[in-house]
Amino acid sequence: MRLFLIFTLGAAAALSSAGAHAALNVFACEPEWATLAKELGGDKVSVFQAITAQQDAHRVEARPSLMARARSADLLVCTGAELEISWLPLLLRSAGNRKIQLGQPGNFAAADLVAKIEVPARLDRSEGDVHPYGNPHIHLDPRNVSRIARALGERLAEVDPANAAHYQARTADFLARWGKTIPQWEAQAAALKGMRVVSHHKDYNYLFNWLGMESSMSLEPKPGLQPSVAYLGELLGKLKTEPAEAITRSVYSDPKPSAWLSERAKLPVVVLPYTVGGTQEAKDLFGLFQDSIDRLINTRNPG
């Protein structure tokens, strides 16, 4: 009896200790937010990343495996601004997890923290994949990342107050390092000011705005629509009077349209990582911006 009591008390203590040190479960929709959550949370968080850099966040299937992860999440970190409109609402309904529903502390939408560009004056779905709250690709302006990191650090402390000091310290450290690096990137990228590019999608417009570049035209006739050969021919004609220096696309974009235009217009194609993991160099948020800048500079000033 005594041995049984000792075993029972020991097991209870072990379970209590494990519960006290259990990591906060974070469900991150995109790689950039998974990486940021790890930066701010350290060993106090267990982060699940819903998609990879090779996937388009607009088009994701709400698979049962994702539902299971969402069901056990303490905090959901996504972009918002309807970037995940085709799959996230279904995921939230199916998961049945009250903690991460809209309006709850466990639901964090990064786009709510920053000013969006390209907010449409009117909504017309015939114009393609139009986002009513503006361009949702907010993570490609590092100044936005600063605002989001500060708010996410506060949210982590709110949902896990026992480790608030830990999150506050890691957030302060990240923001200090991030704040020192932004001016370095801006100095390095000064050579990119005025560079005109043709982009596959509007996913880099925050980056272009920050760097003083210009996306003169898009390979998509309407947002989210694949271009026809006839449309690409129109772009080829426009480039004679509105010249560009390069064509940009993400790693997840169909390479055929940019290759078609590149061959005929004699323009280089720059494949950008878009998010963490998009290239070997983009291992974290710092690498994401550094590699993007490096690739653009090497295109404008080869050799």
Residue 158 vs residue 303, higher pLDDT: 158
What DSSP state is assigned to residue 109? E
Instruction: Decide if 26 contacts 45 (C-beta within 8 A).
Output: yes
217-235 residue pLDDT tens? 999 998 888 999 999 999 9
CATH class as words, domain 23-181: alpha beta
Q: How confident is the model at residue 126 (pLDDT cuts 50, 70, 90)?
A: low
pLDDT over threshold 80, residue 79? yes
- Specify the 3-state DSSP secondary structure of 270: strand
Give the list of residues 6+ apart from residue 48 with CB closer than 8 angstroms, or none. Answer: 25, 26, 27, 28, 34, 69, 73
DSSP state letters, 188-257: HGGGGTT-EEEESSGGGHHHHHHHT-EEEEESSSSTTPPPPHHHHHHHHHHHHHS--SEEEEETTS-HHH
- CATH node for 185-300: 3.40.50.1980
Which two three-digit tokens encode residue 122? 């009117």
pLDDT value, residue 302: 81
Whether 23-181 and 185-300 share one fold: the answer is: yes
pLDDT bracket for residue 124 (50, 70, 90)? low
12: its two tokens: 């209870």
Amino acid at 72: S
Q: What is the pLDDT of residues 83-99, one digit of tens each?
A: 999 999 999 999 999 99
pLDDT of 216 reads 86
- The amino acid sitting at 128 is G
C-alpha closest to that of 272 among 239, 245, 299: 299
CA dist., res. 29 & res. 78, Å (int): 5
What's this model's pTM, rounded to 2 decimal places? 0.91
**Tokens at residue 8, please?**
């029972």
* Alpha helices by DSSP H, the chain: 2-20, 31-41, 64-71, 88-95, 142-159, 164-188, 205-211, 229-241, 255-265, 285-300
Cα–Cα distance measured from residue 268 to residue 200, given in angstroms and rounded to the nearest whole number: 13
Average pLDDT over residues 280-287: 98
Please check the confidence at residue 250 and state whether its pLDDT lies above 70. Answer: yes
Which pLDDT does position 223 carry in this prediction? Answer: 84
Q: What's the pLDDT band for 125 if we cut at 50, 70, 90? A: low
- On the question of pLDDT at 15 being above 60, the answer is no
**Higher-confidence residue: 123 or 153?**
153
Residue 63: pLDDT above 50?
yes
> CB count, 10 Å around CB of 147?
16
Q: Share the mean pLDDT of the chain.
A: 91
Task: Say if CB 200 and CB 248 are below 8 A apart.
Answer: yes
Q: Hey, where are the domains in the chain?
A: 23-181, 185-300
pLDDT at 11: 43
**Of 79, 72, 68, whose CA–CA distance to 28 is shortest?**
79
From the CB of residue 19, how many other CB atoms can be counted at a distance below 10 Å? Answer: 8
The pLDDT, as a whole number, for residue 219 is: 96
